[in-house]
Amino acid sequence: MASASSAASLRHLLRRPLCPPLLRPARRLLCVSSSTLTHGGDSSTSTSSDGALGVVDLNPPRGTRDFPPEDMRLRTWLFDNFREVSRTMAFEEVDFPVLESEALFIRKAGEEITQQLYNFEDKGGRRVVLRPEITPSLARLVIKQGKSVSLPLKWFTIGQCWRYERMTRGRRREHYQWNMDIFGMPKVRAEAELIQAIVLLFERLGITSSDVGIRLSSRKVLQAVLNMYSIPEHLFAQVCVIVDKLGKLSREEIEKELISTGLSSEAVQGIIEVLSLKSLSKLEEVLGSDVEAVADLKKLFSFAEQYGYADWICFDASVVRGLAYYTGVVFEAFDRKGELRAICGGGRYDRLLSTFGSEDVPACGFGFGDAVIVELLKEKGLLPDLSRQIDDIVFPLDEELEGPASSVASSLRKKGRSVDLAEDKRLKWVFKHAERINASRLILVGKSEWERGMVRVKILSTREEFEVKACDLE
């Protein structure tokens, strides 16, 4: 999977082809903001025959990405790994529109994700969003399928998610996210399965448990503390969202926010003390062993031993995750050097479906983005060599041989080979091109050979060259 000569492959991956530029340089265009284009777009700036505006911004919209071939190869490789792990875990792939009703994402706990909704009104007056996350769509489809499905459901999806925030910190407005979700399994077996999937993915990518760990806890820990201080149920999600900012905000700021929800300072201290625990036995001491949180976590650690990924996971009471709807075990993968944001995160959300008006179904899942993992792979030199690779280049040595070259290329393609057909170029260019795209063979269609029904084959790795009957070419 992972390339040994990792530094070299990274260079290779990041390098653009070195061939001579054949596309004449585009005029360097000023990036004209679209508002200028719209408001200033009168006929004086219009130059083309069908009235299009004469200058467009060459960049995709702010905070979004194009995927030229080399970036696309990396993305495909990553997604293939997501899919392969999902397949071994026996999950089924599903998908949803990137555009969803805003109502699916209206929650009042103050989450960052709902404050940064990429929302707008469509022409029919409907409030819609470019979805910030996929879980609500999954839940919606589970409810919709209702009777027709058998539980448990094990679904995965890979999709683009959006947010709208001021473009500081170099963060983007879109990313792709791999989601795996299980509906209908109330016990921590479900979490144990999800964590195995994450570990299998890391292992496929060449990442070890000394590079990455998975912190876990349970929201039931916080729930137990809230119960101790008789804090009303409706504050639970809000408190979770606030304490998730520990580490980003100062302790004083967190305390202030908690107090402002109406908590006593005694309760706030209690919460913060429990959240600092890093040991399950210590947690048991504080909460008692009959608390559900403790039993769940002990069970999950015992599963980890049996699955064989115990060295990847650790208990950390400060993990609560930022989504309002989690109710039980929560977890996140982190780089052990502590330089990156969370690589992925997830948890149990047993009560999401009732917020949509359905009966609840126990559920848990995770989201795994395409950004942090690629940063980590780059840093560790684990990006694979993903250069272009094709089988054959067919080249007619003479313009009048373009017909025969067509039938040679056509028949090779029908046999499943990937075939490029070069034309109107010099032989020297064709050889360079072959090198650039890692072609295996060059097939030259020359006049004297063709008259005998033959073509000339050159194996590019060995420089071996021979004639073969065109109809025998495989």
Range in contact with its own copies (rule: CB under 8 A) among 25-33, 206-214, 242-250, 441-449:
25-33
Single residue of 77, 102, 340, 379 touching its own copies by CB under 8 A: 102
The DSSP call for residue 246 is: B
Q: Check residue 133 for interaction with its own copies (CB under 8 A).
A: no
**Other beta carbons less than 10 A from residue 345's beta carbon:** 22
How many whole angstroms separate alpha carbon 230 and alpha carbon 225?
9
Check binding of 147 to its own copies (CB under 8 A).
yes
Using the rule CB under 8 A, give the single segment among 134-142, 244-252, 330-338, 372-380 that binds its own copies: 134-142
Q: Which is nearer to its own copies, 73 or 282 (CB)?
A: 73
Q: Answer for the pair 182, 193: CB distance below 8 angstroms, yes or no.
A: yes
Sign of CA dihedral 329, 333, 336, 337: negative
Residue 97: cis peptide before it, omega within 30 degrees of 0: no
Nearest CA among 167, 183, 132 for reference residue 359: 183
Residues within window 394-453 making contact with its own copies, judged by CB under 8 A: 402-404, 406-407, 409-411, 413-414, 416-421, 423-424, 433, 436-437
Tokens of 296: 């769940």
Among 40, 54, 288, 453, binds its own copies (CB under 8 A): 54
What's the CA gap between 98 and 285, in Å, rounded? Answer: 46
Which residue number, 72 or 427, has a Cβ lying nearer to its own copies? 72
Least Å from the CB of residue 118 to its own copies? 8
Q: Which 263-282 residues touch its own copies, going by CB under 8 A? A: none
- Site membership for its own copies, residue 298 (CB under 8 A): no
Tell me which stretch binds its own copies (CB under 8 A): 5-13, 68-76, 219-227, 247-255: 68-76
For residue 51, what are the contacts with CB-CB under 8 A and spacing of at least 6? Answer: none
Smallest separation (angstroms) from its own copies to the CB of 465: 22
Count other C-beta atoms under 10 Å from residue 74's C-beta.
20
Q: Which of residues 163-182 bind its own copies (CB under 8 A)?
A: 164, 174
Residue from 107, 175, 245, 298 in contact with its own copies (CB under 8 A) = 107
CB 256 → its own copies: shortest distance, Å?
A: 21
Return d(Cα 145, Cα 150) in angstroms, integer.
10
Interacting residues with its own copies between 321 and 380 (CB under 8 A)? 324-325, 351, 354-359, 361
> Quick one: which of 277, 428, 444, 200 has its CA closest to 285?
277
List the one residue out of 391, 472, 401 whose CA is nearest residue 439. 391
With CB under 8 A as the contact rule, the residue among 4, 44, 146, 247 that binds its own copies is 146
